[in-house]
Structure 1
Amino acid sequence: MGKKYVIGVDYGTESGRVLLVEVSSGKEVATNVTAYKHGVMDETLPGGTPLDADWALQHPGDYLDVLSESVPAVLEKADVSSDDVIGLGIDFTASTILPLDRKREALCFQEKWENEPHSYVKLWKHHAAQPEADDFTEVAEERGETFLKRYGGKISSEWMFPKILQILREAPKVFEEADLFMEACDWLTSRLTGSLHRSSNTTGYKAFWNKKEGYPSSEFFTAVDSRLEDILETKMRGDVLSIGEKAGELTGEMAQVLGLKPGIAIAVGIIDAHAGVPAAGAVRPGQMVMAMGTSTCHMLITDKDQPITGVCGSVEDGIIPGYISFETGQVAVGDSFAWYVDQAVPGYVKKEAEKAGLNVHQLLERKAAAYQPGQTGLIALDWWNGNRSVLVDSQLSGAIIGLTLATKPEEIYRALIESTAFGTKKIIESFVHGGVAVDEIFAVGGLPERNRLLMQIYADVTNREIKVADSSQTTALGAAMYGAVAAGSKAGGYDSIFDAAQHMARVKEETYKPIPEHVKIYEELYSYYLEVHNFFGQEKKSLMHGLKKLKK
């Protein structure tokens, strides 16, 4: 048998990436990126219809373009025959949902709905469903719903059912017209296979589903809104398949579009950050993976099924089959650095960067690295897009404490980096206090590849060695690995994700180790962070909530 290949399709916030991977070694053979033509729609629809604050929509046609453009492109770049491609896996941002008609087409494709915001994809960072999320939480608390403990005791506006409820309340005609609501990940898998399935990963983390109990009862949904009484049997149809299984086989119609052979295995879809777990080889308990990019998702595998404060999902067979997989996260990490560079850095810094032949991030990293821990005199809160863990409160906002007339841009940049590291330390403490060990830390994504200062600060703040995946495309690699498992060993793939990880996952030899003298100072700085964190996030959260309300 000659060389066999699998394809990983990674759907991000601004673009989709297709990666062609050699099955036997995990070698990344070719990649191609397709930018979304419509991008993130947070101000207007394509036709000019204005959007309210906290909205974030996308056009599903952009997702189909990724498949039709980038899949043929990687085959051409690598000069690989479609005969040698045995499987395909998809990862996607989540919860990213869309309403579908009876043909499983997006409602926004229809002319009658093209100017209706609720007919489009609601992106993961669509936060306008916070009142609905609060209502779900309140009803679950009043009824003593046991599922709530799996999500840290609080339901996020980012998840599936709050977004569906917002559609029901604000655009009931769209709700009525929708035959199905699906995660974009599961929708695309359905498009490729022609079958209707949902992923244990997407439904478990974003739609309250549990392997043993299924979804919450219809009585619960009715208590939230009587019009949701039969939503599980109607608009949430579709059996749930475990991560690591085959969702189906590529149809002839879609094979022609993608330039692949019909009948190849299509894996059950997975959330983008979660795909980085097997790609880093972190398939055993105690191994935490930080998927670091515009936001950070922390994932931890364990055999202990117990509640942890601030966890955004505790799902059996959620990421690695046979284990409980925890997820927590920080909503703005790279986004917060980008906000500062794009909106607040003085012009002279940009000129200095241009003169030095660097981008602004590189210049600020270089300048910030000259400071010792504590030397800036600043503490920042990493809540520039709300707090996902451990407070689960999208109405919180960012802050920088200690600014003076002498504060320099690079000092603010360093404080922003440190704030994200402190947020991660708070999450780790939550796990450890809950009795779940965090023995190893792996970092995946674009940020660990680009920013050495950031990784060293994380090692110093967490007082843990950090290993970095040997790929800047780990989510696409992880999706491809699940494609190899879906294909199975008889087709040239693997029979389990553990086998796939053994042969395809890669970690760099160089690691980031804590510097003892830095660790000591950061422990003091972290105590200050906790004071500010508890004050604005718990004791006086009404202050930030009030400002958000006035802004709206």
Structure 2
Amino acid sequence: MEKRYVIGIDFGTESGRVVIADVELGGELAIHSTPYRHGTIVERLPGSGKALGHDWALQHPDDYLEVLRSSVPEVLRISGVSPSQVIGIGVDFTSCTILPVDVEGQPLCVQTRYSDDPHAYVKLWKHHAAQKEADRINEWAKASGETFMERYGGKSSSEWMVAKVWQVLNEAPDIYRAAHRFVEAGDWIVQQLTGKLVRSNCSAGYKAFWHKQDGYPSSHFFKQLDERLVDLTETKLAGDILPLGTRAGELTVEAAEMMGLCSGTAVAVAIIDAHAGVPGSGAVRSGQMVMAMGTSLCHLVLSHKEVTVEGVSGVVEDGMITGLYGYEAGQPAVGDLFGWYCEQAVPSYVQESASQVGISVHSWLERRAAELRQGQHGLLALDWWNGNRSVLEDTDLSGLIIGLTLATKPAEIYRALLESTAFGTRKIMEAFEEAGVQVEEIFACGGLPQRNRLFMQIYADVTGREIKIAATTETSALGAAIHGAVAAGPERGGYPDLATAAVRMARVREEIFRPIPEHKAVYDDLYRQYIRLHDVFGRGGLVMKELKRIKQKQNE
């Protein structure tokens, strides 16, 4: 039998990555990345230069199509795989990343009459300018006794679908009326490949309040929020919602020509990027957690039961692996936090020293931070540079470092920031276990575990858990490819379900990071202090919120 392959397309925050994988052996035959030409749009619109407001984060959909045009042909060329050997395609995407489209599925922002309106563009997952809408959703859900919010830890986020759509309605009603649908960018990409709009149960469940048995919240709930939203789910969010692993459709002739593939190739329903790391890491059983570690960190836990967990970002039946409940929690600034420090806060001598020895600033700081003993720097940080997602779910919180003196060195601050994110993860893990969701085995995937050994050892020491590392460098893309193999099905040489495909195609590295008892003892003490700061500033303090209020007022 001819060898069979699948393609996984991973749309991240800064670029799109494509892998091609062997259906039988898994792994990566070839990888190619295409940076987004427009990047993340946070200050001004491309072209007109129109200024954006505070906490905006947009993207341009043409950048996503360029990934298809450039990276898919490249992985075919690099691997030497024939298009006829590719039996399936899977897509994962950052979420909640949404865009308004017309009846033909064309983004409004590419149409001349809407190109100067920020609300016509893609709202990236980390667009936080819909916070007042999210606050109102939370207030009304609590006041009305709605129970669906319990699946999301009691709070919705400004990052999610309904808050973002409602912001459009409030601030740009013309765009709201012009939009035939608001769609997740992952679902939109699948539509570009197949010619059909279908919605993923993963994105709908975690980011739009949809439930397998109950559907969306009632029209009465939306009417009480705003009478103009009464038919939101029947109009702007309408569309068939299909489970993960389902074949969304087949590659159209036009899409096949664009990418150099064969028309009729199976295309899977889209999945959230971090969630694709679950099968990509080989996690398929209750009690397993996958930490998708990149610019942000998603904690993804599989369980056989559904319970309420404080600060969880969502629990969806079949949301990651068929037959299990998938829980999502997270920290919105991890790699972004370390990047901020290296790019904005380190003194010039660090940059010069790193350049002299031919390494990155990150590597220079990591080497020196590794020379420090636990607690030696006398610092403690709160990891809220981009707000808190779990367990406090408050985007108005901000970062903090305590213990600074005139003797504090850059590597000491760097280590304290690494530790702060590990403390945040431990808090999330404890919330799961206090609710009765056991965390028995931990996998880490993404760019950070592959590059920073100190980072992973700190996580093992702080949490007191063994951590296994996914073998592939592009775990989400491999997870997307696994979905492509399931969409193809056994009849085309693929697999019958996600669990079977993941066991066959995913790998972990031999090296395991294990906690060192003497390190853990010190971190237990530091963690108690972290929790004190966490509760003072996160649960009862208003200082961070007042600072943000003053800042916004002065920037008006």
Whether these two folds match at TM > 0.5 is yes
Deviation of 1:108 (Å): 0.4
Using structure 1 for the length normalisation, give the TM-score.
0.99
- 1:279-298 matches, cutoff 5 A: 279-298=280-299
Runs of at least 5 residues in structure 2 that lack an aligned partner in the other structure: none
SS in 2 for 1:27: strand
Structure-2 residue corresponding to 1:545: 545
1:36 counterpart letter in structure 2: Y
Contact 2:379 2:416 in 1 (8 A): yes
What CA distance in whole angstroms lies between the structure 1 residues aligned with 2:421 and 2:473? 20
- Are residues 1:59 and 2:60 paired? yes
1:4 aligns with 2:4: yes
Q: Distance in 1 between matches of 2:405 and 2:478?
A: 45
Alignment of 1:319-334 (within 5 A): 319-334=320-335
User: What's 2:25 paired with?
Assistant: 25
Q: What CA distance in whole angstroms lies between the structure 1 residues aligned with 2:368 and 2:52?
A: 39
Q: CA deviation at 1:194?
A: 1.4
Superposed CA offset, 1:283-322 (max 9, x none): 1011110000010000000011110001001000111111
Corresponding residue number in structure 2 for 1:360: 361
Deviation at 1:354, TM superposition (A): 1.2
Distance (Å, rounded) in 1 between the aligned partners of 2:545 and 2:190: 39
What's the secondary structure of 2:202's corresponding residue?
helix
Query: C-alpha distance in 2, partners of 1:27/1:177?
Result: 44
Alpha-carbon RMSD: 0.7
Q: Give the letter aligned to residue 408 of structure 1.
A: K
Counterpart for residue 444 of structure 2? 443
Counterpart-to-counterpart distance in 2, 1:456 and 1:424: 14
- Give the partner amino acid of 1:513: R
Residue 34 of structure 2 contacts residue 67 of structure 2 at CA under 8 Å; is this kept in 1? yes
1:461-490 C-alpha deviation (Å, 9 max, x unpaired): 000000000011000000000000000112
What is the alpha-carbon distance in structure 2 between the residues aligned to residue 489 and residue 495 of structure 1? 6
Letter in structure 2 aligned against 1:182? V
Aligned partners of 1:365, 1:31: CA distance in 2, in Å?
Answer: 27
CA distance in 2, matches of 1:224, 1:136: 7
Q: Distance in 2 between matches of 1:238 and 1:425?
A: 38
Alpha-carbon separation, structure 2, partners of 1:389 and 1:175:
31
Deviation string, structure 1 residues 434-482 (Cα, Å, up to 9, x no partner): 0111011110000000000000000000000000000110000000000
Greater shift, 229-238 or 457-466, is seen at 229-238
Cα separation, 1, equivalents of 2:101 and 2:549: 33
Give the drift of 1:55. 0.2
CA distance in 2, matches of 1:341, 1:316: 40
Aligned partner of 1:41 in structure 2 is: 41
Which residue is 1:341 aligned to? 342
| Aligned equivalents of 2:470, 2:32: Cα separation in 1 | 20
Identity of aligned residues (%): 59
Whichever residue aligns with residue 437 of structure 1, its letter is: Q
SS of aligned partner of 1:211 = coil
Residue type of the alignment partner of 1:30: A
Partner of 1:160: 161
Given that 2:61 and 2:122 are in contact with CA atoms closer than 8 Å, whether structure 1 keeps it comes out as: yes
Alpha-carbon displacement from aligned partner over 1:54-99 (angstroms, at most 9, x marks no partner)? 0000000111111111111111111211000000000000000000
What does the per-residue CA deviation read over 1:321-377, in whole Å, with 9 as the maximum and x for residues that have no partner? 111100000000010000001000000111111112211100100000011111110
Q: Give, in whole Å, the separation in 1 of the partners of 2:239 and 2:469.
A: 37
Distance across 1 between alignment mates of 2:479 and 2:199: 19
Aligned to 1:174: 175
Q: CA deviation at 1:196?
A: 2.0
Q: Is the 8 A contact 2:7 2:86 kept in 1?
A: yes
User: Once the 2 structures are TM-superposed, how far is the Cα of residue 143 of structure 1 from its aligned partner?
Assistant: 1.0
- Aligned equivalents of 1:196 and 1:474: distance in 2? 26
Tell me how far apart the structure 2 counterparts of residues 451 and 80 of structure 1 sit (CA, whole Å): 33
Match of 2:493 in 1: 492
Q: 442-451 or 348-357: which moved more? A: 348-357
- Asked if the contact 2:27/2:472 (under 8 Å) is kept, the reply is no
Per-residue CA shift, 1:165-198, capped at 9, x if unaligned? 0000000000010000000001111121112210
Does the 8 Å contact 2:32/2:71 carry over to 1?
Answer: yes
| Aligned position for 1:426 | 427
Query: 1:114-513 counterparts in 2 under 5 A?
Result: 114-513=115-514
Distance, in Å, in 2 between the alignment partners of 1:235 and 1:280 is 35
Q: Which amino acid aligns with 2:8?
A: G
Whether the 8 Å contact between 2:322 and 2:499 is mirrored in structure 1 is no
Code of the residue aligned with 1:395 in structure 2: it is: D
The code of the aligned residue for 1:143 comes to S
Looking at structure 2, the residues matched to 472 and 133 of structure 1 have their Cα atoms a distance apart, in angstroms, of: 35
In structure 2, C-alpha distance between the alignment counterparts of 1:64 and 1:357, rounded to whole Å:
35
Per-residue deviation at 1:30? 1.1
Secondary structure of the corresponding residue to residue 430 of structure 2: helix
Stretch of structure 1 that moved more, 192-201 or 448-457: 192-201
Deviates more, 1:284-293 or 1:347-356: 347-356
CA distance in 1, matches of 2:196, 2:42: 32
| Residue identity in the other structure for 1:39 | G
Residue type at the aligned position of 2:152 = Y
**Structure 2 counterpart SS, 1:215:** coil
- 1:103-147 deviation digits (Å, cap 9, x = unpaired): 110000100111100000000000000000001111111111111
Q: Is the 8 A contact 2:27 2:478 kept in 1?
A: no
Q: Which amino acid aligns with 1:544?
A: M
Counterpart-to-counterpart distance in 2, 1:28 and 1:385: 33
After superposing on structure 2, the runs of 4+ consecutive aligned residues of structure 1 that deviate more than 4 Å are: none
- Alignment correspondent of 1:100: 101
Determine helix, strand or coil for the equivalent of 2:316: strand
Q: Which moved more, 1:449-458 or 1:257-266?
A: 257-266
Matches of 1:40 and 1:68, distance apart in 2: 20
Distance 1:156 1:233 in 2: 22
Counterpart Cα distance in 1 of 2:246 and 2:103: 26
Using the TM superposition, name which of 348-357 and 119-128 deviates more: 348-357
Is contact 2:11–2:93 with CA below 8 Å preserved after alignment? Answer: yes
Partner AA of 2:162 in structure 1: F
- In the alignment, the residues of structure 2 paired with residue 395 and residue 414 of structure 1 have an alpha-carbon distance, to the nearest angstrom, of 25
Question: What letter is aligned with 1:41?
Answer: I
How many angstroms apart in 2 are the aligned matches of 1:99 and 1:536? 37
Distance 2:342 2:74 in 1: 33
- Matched residue SS, 2:495: coil
Instruction: Return the alpha-carbon distance in structure 1 between the equivalents of residues 203 and 27 of structure 2.
Output: 28
**Structure 2 residue identity aligned to 1:38:** H
Give, in angstroms, the shift of residue 27 of structure 1.
2.8
The residue type equivalent to 1:9 in the other structure is I
